[in-house]
């Protein structure tokens, strides 16, 4: 079956530090990969996505590259801000037994950025 | 415009009540989803509708009853819930339920408390 593994949190950084949140996946097919962000008390927002190997998704200074050889999709940002404090979910989308695509989420990584 | 609108934002209900959660999107998407999210956990898929037909039911108890009146609306009818059903209920939509690279967009969620 499909699965997504994320690094345990919380990750605590000072403002302007470099961020990496690791994500690896296991999938039976050819999944698309996503990062979603959830700010406190809110729903999930799509942060970025990649649909095939070597694609790089980017948004708001965040980047992630779809690495098929290492089955990874690590999230990076060069300089974090306090406003980036949130929970980050790595997810994959693959076909289920019913022929429909569904998201499989990682457990989430809480990021805390201190001023 | 990538907006999925959910109402109500907060709901408190007794175990004998009947209530409904509502979701609306005007992006022309033909797939809609209900997810359940407990505190500090990733979202879990409950139901998938594709072209207004239920295509995935993830073994959800019958006290949760989904309904898709048309391609823009998705309801979740609640009856005889238990306190452990208290959670954030997220509605989502995508262009299709089976396309490659399909992006799933989430609403802000409805916070449900069962007393």
A55-65 average pLDDT score: 97
- Going by the DSSP 8-state scheme, the letter that residue B95 receives in this structure is S
Work out the widest C-alpha separation in chain B, in whole angstroms: 42
B67-73 average pLDDT score: 95
pLDDT the model gives residue B99: 64
B102 → closest Cβ in A43, A89, A101: A101
B90 → closest Cβ in A43, A99, A100: A43
Contacts of A107 in chain B (CB under 8 A): 41-42
Q: How many contiguous H segments (helices) and E segments (strands) does chain B have?
A: 0, 11
Which residue, A59, A60, A76, is CA-closest to A17? A76
Kindly state the helix (H) or strand (E) to which residue A49 belongs, with its residue range: strand A44-50
Mean pLDDT of chain B: 92
The Cα–Cα gap between B5 and A101 comes to: 22
pLDDT the model gives residue B1: 53
Residues in Cβ contact with A50 at an 8 Å cutoff, skipping those fewer than 6 apart = A32, A33, A56, A57, A64, A65, A66, A73
Contacts of A98 in chain B (CB under 8 A): 55-56
A83-107 average pLDDT score: 86
| Contact (Cβ atoms closer than 8 angstroms) between residue A104 and residue A2 | yes
Interchain pair B41, A101: CB under 8 A = no
| Contact (Cβ atoms closer than 8 angstroms) between residue B1 and residue B8 | no
- Give the closest-approach CA distance of B83 to chain A in angstroms: 20
Interchain pair A42, B108: CB under 8 A = yes
A103 → closest Cβ in B2, B104, B108: B104
A64-75 average pLDDT score: 96
Residues on chain B bordering chain A, Cβ-to-Cβ distance under 8 angstroms: 2, 6, 31, 40-43, 45, 48, 50, 55-56, 88, 90, 94, 97-109
A44-56 burial: b if 16+ Cβ within 10 Å, else e: bbbbbbbbeeebe
Q: Provide the pLDDT confidence category of residue A29 given band limits of 50, 70 and 90.
A: confident
| Contact (Cβ atoms closer than 8 angstroms) between residue A66 and residue A98 | no
| Contact (Cβ atoms closer than 8 angstroms) between residue A24 and residue A5 | yes
Q: Is the pLDDT of residue B37 over 60?
A: yes
The Cα–Cα gap between B12 and A56 comes to: 43
Q: Does A43 touch chain B (CB under 8 A)?
A: yes
pLDDT the model gives residue B103: 86
Q: Does A106 touch chain B (CB under 8 A)?
A: yes
């Amino acid at each position: 079956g499909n699965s997504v593994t994320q690094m345990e949190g919380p990750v605590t950084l000072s403002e302007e530090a470099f961020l990496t949140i690791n994500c690896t996946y296991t999938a039976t097919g050819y999944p698309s990969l996503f990062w979603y962000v959830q700010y406190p008390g809110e729903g999930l927002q799509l942060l970025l996505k990649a649909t095939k190997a070597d694609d790089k998704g980017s948004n708001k200074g965040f980047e992630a590259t779809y690495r098929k050889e290492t089955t990874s999709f690590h999230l990076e940002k060069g300089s974090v801000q306090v406003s980036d404090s949130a929970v980050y979910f790595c997810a994959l989308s693959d076909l289920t037994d019913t022929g429909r695509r569904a998201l499989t989420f990682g457990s989430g990584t809480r990021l805390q950025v201190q001023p | 415009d990538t907006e999925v609108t959910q109402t109500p934002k907060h709901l408190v209900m007794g175990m004998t009540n009947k209530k409904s959660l509502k979701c609306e999107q005007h992006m022309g998407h033909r797939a809609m989803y209900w997810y359940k999210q407990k505190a500090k956990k990733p979202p879990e898929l409950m139901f998938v509708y594709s072209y207004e037909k239920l295509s995935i039911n993830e073994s959800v108890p019958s006290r949760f009853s989904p309904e898709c009146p048309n391609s823009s609306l998705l309801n979740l009818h609640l009856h005889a819930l238990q306190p452990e059903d208290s959670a954030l209920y997220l509605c989502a939509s995508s262009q299709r339920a089976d396309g490659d690279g399909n992006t799933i967009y989430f609403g802000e969620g409805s916070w449900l408390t069962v007393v």
